[in-house]
Amino acid sequence: MIDRNLPPVPRLGRHPSRWRLAGTPVITVMLGSTLTMLPVIAQSPVMPPFGLLILLAWRLLRPELWRVWIGLPLGLFDDMMSGQPIGSAMFLWTMMLIGIDAIEHRLVWRSYRQDWLIATMAIIFCLAGGVFFARITGGGSVKLLLVAPQMLWTILLFPFVVRQCARIDRWRVMA
């Protein structure tokens, strides 16, 4: 009798397809960016940048998955979905990934808390950079305080998103 509640394991001699291995993370990040199409007319920046959160989660969960240039196409897609000027997330996400690469070499011991700390710094960098870009591209006097609540709950949401990514990752590597 096969227990249906057991977690899936790869069957002997079977491997997940290349599309599933490489495509799943990319698609989840793009879906995260696409959440801005929800029919909510926001009066202030309330929605956490889910694309960024999921990218960070995959990057910290699976450091070997992507090269740093992955920030370019995913950032461009995020720029198309969010109201930020085109090029803003392209630049910020790539710089963030390069920064994480640089930090990772210097950390001797890393655990969940260090990951959260890295993600916190990355989120603050990207949101503050986004405000700066919005300001210089004709956004008027956008204050940094405006995105402070958004920063806070994006940081608090990170552990949850990592959990979900880990769950998807388990499905991804099991054929």
Residues that bind another protein (CB under 8 A): 34-50, 63-64, 67-69, 71-72, 75-77, 79-92, 94-95, 97-98, 101, 104-105, 107-111, 130-131, 133-134, 136-143, 146-147, 150
Cβ proximity to another protein, 79 vs 169, nearer residue: 79
Cβ proximity to another protein, 73 vs 175, nearer residue: 73
Q: Nearest distance from residue 122's CB to another protein, in Å?
A: 15
Residue 146, number of CB atoms within 10 A of its CB: 13
What distance in Å separates the CA atoms of residue 121 and residue 93, rounded to the nearest whole number? 12
Q: Nearest distance from residue 30's CB to another protein, in Å?
A: 10
Cβ proximity to another protein, 69 vs 171, nearer residue: 69
Residue 160, number of CB atoms within 10 A of its CB: 11
Closest of 98, 99, 78 to residue 88, by C-alpha: 78
Closest of 57, 132, 63 to residue 92, by C-alpha: 132
Cβ proximity to another protein, 58 vs 77, nearer residue: 77
Q: Nearest distance from residue 110's CB to another protein, in Å?
A: 5
Between the alpha carbon of residue 94 and those of residues 29, 79, 90, the distances in Å are 14, 13, 6
Q: Nearest distance from residue 96's CB to another protein, in Å?
A: 10
Structure tokens given for 129: 């950079």
